[in-house]
Amino acid sequence: FPPQIWSFQPKFPIPPLTPSPPQGSPTSSSSPRPRFLLVFDFDETIVDENSDDSILRGRSLPERLRHGPGASYNEHMQRVLAFLGEQGVRAADLRAAYEAIPLSPGVAELFQFLSKHSERFEIILISDANVFGVEAKLRAAGLRSLFRKVFSNPAGADRRGFLTLGPYHSHKCGRCPPNMCKNKILSEYLAQRAREGAEFRKVLYVGDGANDFCPSSGALGEEDVAFPRKGYPMHRMILEAQERQSGTFRAAAVPWESAEEVARFLQELLRERC
């Protein structure tokens, strides 16, 4: 049967957060190896805004910096950040803006759940934002330690204090922006972890955008689960793929409006496989 869009009805509330046992304790040493790989997007997934829009709020750009079809978005943001630096905006100012971006609904509760069950999930983040902003927000929210790896466009302060940005990599994918293909990143990560002996029962992907459709359709299989944010491009593209030709999108799809829905699904998943 083709995979379906699930309407998940939770049976149990999310348990309250309890501290994970310290490394080296008897409970920690007897914990099973991570059984699930959980992949997150950042913009409009972990945070409730596009982080580029957030740092530009209240700032006007000259006409020459309006994003047009002649340039990639990553190149556009490189020029925008250079302009901001010339206007006296320093990386430290932008860090504060990133730290202030609100989390998406239910994200705090989801990460409370993941903190309690950290031995069951290996968590990574793949974002077409930038590593400076992503790391700043994750640390401010107290979430960074839960992520094994963060993949994002390189960014940092130069000697002038300007925030500079670059592309993550090059690739040959025809449907992704030239600076990042999330499917390539995820596929290479899975191959690397397999060489290292890691085994995952399922890959679970939480996202919202068109560039999240590429990895969720390319790297996820029939045993895996995609969590598209309801009504966002990733969700619409999954529906279109299923309507166009059943079986072309292999993973199960569980749309969400609040990330608490993701937490409840994961809780049920752990109950089923304990």
The pLDDT tens digits for 97-145 are: 999 999 999 999 999 999 999 999 999 999 999 999 999 999 999 999 9
Can you tell me whether residue 206 is helix, strand or coil?
strand
- Alpha-carbon distance 200 to 217, whole Å? 18
Average confidence score pLDDT of the chain: 88
- 271 burial level (CB within 10 Å; 0-12, 13-18, 19+): exposed
DSSP string, 53-104: HHHHTT----GGGS--TTS-HHHHHHHHHHHHHHTT--HHHHHHHHHTSPBP
Q: Is 48 annotated as a binding residue?
A: no
Arithmetic mean of pLDDT, 63-79: 81
What is the model's pLDDT at position 273?
63
Q: Which is higher by pLDDT, 42 or 70?
A: 42
> What are the Cα distances from residue 167, in Å, to 61, 74, 82, 107, 215?
22, 7, 15, 28, 18
Q: Which of 41, 53, 93, 158 is catalytic?
A: 41
CA atoms within 13 A on the CB side of 274: 7
- Determine the CATH number of domain 33-48+102-153+173-273: 3.40.50.1000
User: For residue 122, which of 251, 31, 22 has the smallest C-alpha distance?
Assistant: 31
pLDDT at position 27: 39
pLDDT on residue 67: 64
Known catalytic residue: 41? Answer: yes
Q: What is the pLDDT of residue 70?
A: 63
The verdict on whether residue 212 carries a ligand-binding annotation is no
From 43, 93, 158, 224, the catalytic residue: 43
Whether the pLDDT of residue 270 is over 60: the answer is: yes
Q: Which residues pair with 165 in a beta bridge?
A: 155
Q: Are 185 and 215 in contact (CB under 8 A)?
A: yes
Q: What is the pLDDT of residue 203?
A: 98
Q: What is the pLDDT of residue 22?
A: 40
Q: Contact 254/262 with Cβ under 8 angstroms?
A: yes
128 belongs to an annotated ligand binding site: yes
Under a CB-based contact definition with an 8 Å cutoff, are residues 262 and 39 in contact? no
Domain parsing of the chain, residue ranges: 33-48+102-153+173-273
Per-residue pLDDT at 255 exceeds 90: yes
| Residue 93 marked ligand-binding | no
**pLDDT score, position 245:** 76
Residue 63: pLDDT band (50, 70, 90) is confident
Lowest mean pLDDT among 57-66, 162-171, 172-181: 57-66
Within 13 Å, how many C-alpha atoms sit on residue 255's CB side?
16
* Strands of the chain, DSSP E: 36-40, 121-127, 149-152, 155-157, 163-165, 202-207, 225-228, 252-253
Q: Which is more confident, 175 or 128?
A: 128
Give residue-wise pLDDT tens across range 185-202. 999 999 999 999 999 999
- Cα separation, 263 vs 269, in Å, equals 10
CA 163 to chain CA centroid, Å, is 22
CB contact at 8 A, 240 and 210: no
Band of residue 34 on the pLDDT scale cut at 50, 70, 90? low
Q: Residue 41 annotated as binding? A: yes
**Pairing of the two strands 155-157 and 121-127:** unpaired
| Confidence grade of residue 68 (pLDDT, cut at 50, 70, 90) | low
In the residue annotation, 224 being an active-site residue is answered as: no
Average pLDDT over residues 202-214: 98
